[in-house]
Amino acid sequence: MIEVAGAIVYRGKAYLHVEARIKGDGFLAVEPVFISDLTIEGLTAAFERVIAAGHPLVRMPSRLEMQLHQDPILKATGAKSWKELAAEAASYTVVWSNSQITLYISRLDEQARFEIDPDKTKTFALDTPLQKLVEVILKDITSRSNLSYR
Q: What is the pTM of this model?
A: 0.92
What CATH number does the domain located at 4-142 have? 3.40.1590.10
Q: How confident is the model over 13-49, as pLDDT tens digits?
A: 999 999 999 987 889 898 999 999 999 999 999 999 9
pLDDT band at 150 (very low <50, low <70, confident <90, very high): very low
Q: How confident is the model over 2-20, as pLDDT tens digits?
A: 899 999 999 999 999 999 9
pLDDT band at 65 (very low <50, low <70, confident <90, very high): confident
SS3 sequence, the chain? CCCEEEEEEECCEEEEEEEEEECCCCEEEEEEEEEECCCHHHHHHHHHHHHHHCCCEECCCCHHHHHHCCCHHHHHHCCCCHHHHHHCEEEEEEEECCCCEEEEEEEECCCCCEEECCCCCEEECCCCCHHHHHHHHHHHHHCCCCCCCC
Residue ranges per structural domain of the chain:
4-142
Report for 21-25, 103-107, 108-112: range of highest mean pLDDT = 103-107
